[in-house]
Amino acid sequence: MRYGWGVLVGLGLVLGTGRVFAETGAVELRGTTEGSAVSGSAMLIDSPQGLEVTVEVMGVAPGKHAIHIHQYGACDDQGNAAGGHFNPDGAPHGFLPSDGLSKAHPGDMGNLDVGQDGIGLLAIRLAGVRLSGGAYSVGGRAIVLHEKVDDFGQPTGNAGGRIGCGVIVIGE
């Protein structure tokens, strides 16, 4: 123990902090019905400013489609196994980047705009949300892509059925 515990603790803090801020997650998004053309993926990165999420989908009907993080990491039963929106505080439904955690659910990502080619991209930052740790952690939960637009009505945006779904897997 030539350098003593202080160095060990310091090194632990550096490594620990680095791990937390660099934590990443991945999602493989699949259609929820047999023969569905829907597919896609998402990348999630914890940053000091919040969770950075990028989503890419293919094979989706052109137009706006609601996209949210739902409570459970399961996609069976046409996506219904994912349960309702992840909503630990019982907050109203909204759009997290503009409404914040007191007036939106942690995974209220609004809409993903899909072009005539069936491809849609979304890049969004969810302030206050993390992959793991704390009340607003979303690792192990599911990202759900909906049939319809999120009109931000209560309780979940009138977004209709669940056409795509995938579980957020940490560390891939």
**Which residues sit at the interface with Cu ion, rule CB under 5 A?**
68, 144
Comparing CB distances to Cu ion, the nearer of 23 and 164 is 164
- Residue 1 CB, shortest distance to Cu ion, in Å, is 53
The total number of residues shown for the chain amounts to 172
DSSP letters spanning 9-36? HHHHHHHHHHHHHH-EEEEEEEESSTT-
Q: Looking at beta carbons, which residue is closest to Cu ion?
A: 68
Comparing CB distances to Cu ion, the nearer of 138 and 144 is 144
- Residue 89 CB, shortest distance to Cu ion, in Å, is 17
Q: What is the rounded end-to-end Cα distance, in angstroms, of the chain?
A: 35
- Residue 129 CB, shortest distance to Cu ion, in Å, is 15
Comparing CB distances to Cu ion, the nearer of 65 and 68 is 68
Comparing CB distances to Cu ion, the nearer of 101 and 144 is 144
DSSP letters spanning 83-136? -SB--TT-PPP--HHHH-TTTS-TTEEEEEEE-TTS-EEEEEEETT-BSSSSTT
Comparing CB distances to Cu ion, the nearer of 23 and 29 is 29
**Quick one: how far is CA 90 from the chain centroid?**
18
- Residue 116 CB, shortest distance to Cu ion, in Å, is 24
- Residue 143 CB, shortest distance to Cu ion, in Å, is 9
Q: Is 50 left (phi over 0), alpha (psi -120 to 50) or beta?
A: left
